[in-house]
């Protein structure tokens, strides 16, 4: 069977199953089981089970349940609610302050964890319900969370950056540093977009009289500042230990759980019942996310085995287009693939083919691979297949798929605009690494 036909049939089948309302992981299972049977017969199911086992036991995925647990503890200890109340007092009646706060939180945790899926799941569980209860627009709330979470593979520390640097002849340190300014630029664009939306449509946040606070005195301001300190413990337990070289990203996720427990104890919400409920919630959410990722990765393996993925990438590299056209095609292919295939799978296949092309077309390696990472992140949050939005939906079941898709599309547009700016001004990516 030709790879083009395999790719088309696979995508159309998944779209049809999604349209029927079938759960995401079941749709992938149906396609995967059908593909195994058609390609290998009954003997292929051993490979299928081994692939699922090898995926869910990967060390790189350990951060997901740990960060979900951290989110569960913060959610059940009211840490997020207390933090939002404190920020209300500190920033006053600035319009859209909660959206700005959510964007900042998702960006910070994205930088801390390096996993967009983990951050989307954590904040989807802890932040989105609070925003919904307060009457904020669901789609704009989703935009704030998913946009910041999608910066996880870009802002250091990033496991994807380390993986790319280990596969190509590029300094991993420079590649890590190169993600700082692009991450800040994209986060700033998200804040500007949110503020413009609120200025144009006041119904996107609760009525001013409902959320307006009376002027607060110095005593209340100091009290609000003190309420933020336990949350700073959580941030330090993750980011601080990484920056000090004490913990790896996976270890920092574990210390983040410890920091969340300390914050819960400070808020006098730590109890065996709360911790038990957090563990149960973590098991349910993490199991669903890991199953989706495992099925998605096996789907990518099937496409690779049939030659569909390699054929698509090779076709793009052999078109003989000018430099700008070649760059667009080289970005478009992983963008499409990352909508429904795991980022690691795309990287393993595309990087060996792309690397020889950099010298031919004169692309700066640091600049190209950073845009490559941003582009793959963009694909992973693009409807209808992006598994980052699947993780967010799984963690926030009260939000409809239409709300999640509607919140993701504006962020897709912002990321595309950000990439265009970085293409026109490559110094945004290469400026900081040039000092090392």
Whether the pLDDT of residue 429 is over 60: the answer is: yes
Average pLDDT over residues 221-241: 76
Give the residue from 161, 190, 192 showing the smallest Cα distance to 178.
Answer: 161
pLDDT exceeds 80 at position 215: no
- Write out the two tokens for 61: 């995925």
pLDDT value of residue 425: 94
Measured distance CA(48)–CA(130) in Å, rounded = 40
Q: What is the C-alpha separation between 355 and 317, in angstroms, rounded?
A: 11
Contact of 51 with 302, CB cutoff 8 Å = no
Give the per-residue pLDDT at 387: 72
- 63 falls in which pLDDT band (50, 70, 90)? confident
How many CB atoms within 10 Å of residue 168?
Answer: 16
pLDDT at 300 over 60: yes
Mean pLDDT (the chain) is: 78
Whether residue 1 has pLDDT greater than 60: no
Average pLDDT over residues 148-159: 77
Give the per-residue pLDDT at 307: 76
Task: Give me the percent of the chain exceeding a pLDDT of 90.
Answer: 8
Element housing 376 (H / E): helix 365-380
pLDDT digits (tens, 9 = 90+) for 346-356: 676 677 677 77
Q: Which of 241 and 429 is assigned the larger pLDDT?
A: 429
pTM beyond 0.85: the answer is: no
> Is the Cβ–Cβ distance between 412 and 374 less than 8 Å?
no
pLDDT band of residue 73 (cuts 50, 70, 90) is confident
- Higher confidence at residue 425 or residue 113? 425
| Lowest-confidence pick of 109-123, 135-149, 418-432 | 109-123
Is 112 a residue whose pLDDT tops 60?
no
Confidence of residue 414 (pLDDT cuts 50, 70, 90): very high
- Given a cut of 80, whether residue 407 has pLDDT beyond it is yes
Q: What is the pLDDT of residue 302?
A: 77
Rounded average pLDDT over 276-293? 81
Asked whether 297 and 63 are in contact (CB, 8 A), the reply is no
């Amino acid at each position: 069977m030709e790879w083009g036909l395999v790719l088309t049939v696979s995508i159309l089948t998944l779209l049809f199953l999604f349209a029927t309302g079938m759960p995401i992981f079941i749709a992938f299972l149906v396609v995967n089981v059908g593909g195994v049977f058609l390609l290998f017969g009954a003997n292929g199911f051993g490979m299928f089970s081994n692939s699922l086992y090898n995926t869910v036991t990967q060390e790189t995925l350990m951060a997901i349940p740990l960060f979900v647990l951290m989110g569960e503890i913060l959610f059940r200890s009211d840490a997020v609610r207390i933090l939002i109340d404190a920020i209300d007092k500190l920033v006053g009646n600035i319009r859209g302050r909660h959206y700005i706060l959510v964007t900042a939180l998702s960006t910070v945790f994205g930088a801390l964890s390096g996993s967009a899926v983990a951050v989307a799941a954590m904040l989807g569980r802890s932040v989105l319900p609070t925003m919904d209860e307060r009457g904020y627009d669901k789609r704009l709330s989703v935009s704030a969370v998913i946009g910041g979470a999608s910066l996880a593979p870009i802002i250091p520390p990033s496991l994807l950056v380390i993986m790319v640097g280990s596969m190509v002849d590029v300094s991993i340190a420079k590649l890590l540093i190169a993600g700082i300014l692009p991450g800040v630029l994209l986060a700033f664009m998200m804040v500007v977009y949110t503020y413009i939306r609120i200025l144009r449509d006041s119904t996107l946040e609760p009525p001013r009289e409902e959320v307006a606070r009376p002027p607060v005195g110095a005593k209340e301001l100091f009290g609000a500042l003190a309420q933020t300190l336990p949350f700073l413990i959580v941030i330090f337990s993750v980011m601080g230990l990484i920056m000090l070289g004490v913990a790896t990203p996976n270890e920092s996720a574990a210390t983040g759980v410890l920091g969340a427990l300390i914050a819960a104890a400070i808020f006098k919400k730590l109890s065996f019942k709360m911790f038990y409920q957090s563990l149960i919630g973590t098991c349910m959410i993490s199991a669903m996310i890991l199953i989706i990722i495992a099925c998605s990765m096996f789907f990518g393996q099937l496409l690779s085995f049939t030659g569909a993925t390699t054929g698509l990438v090779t076709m793009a590299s052999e078109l003989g287009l000018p430099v700008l056209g070649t760059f667009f095609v080289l970005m478009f292919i992983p963008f499409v693939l990352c909508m429904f295939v795991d980022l690691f799978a795309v990287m393993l296949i595309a990087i060996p083919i792309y690397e020889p092309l950099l010298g031919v077309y004169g692309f700066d390696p640091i600049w190209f691979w950073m845009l490559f990472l941003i582009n793959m992140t963009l694909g992973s949050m693009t409807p209808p297949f992006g598994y980052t939005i699947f993780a967010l939906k799984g963690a926030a079941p009260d939000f409809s798929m239409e709300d999640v898709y509607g919140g993701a599309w504006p962020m897709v547009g912002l990321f595309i605009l950000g990439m265009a700016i970085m293409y026109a001004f490559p110094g945004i990516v290469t400026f900081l690494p040039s000092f090392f």
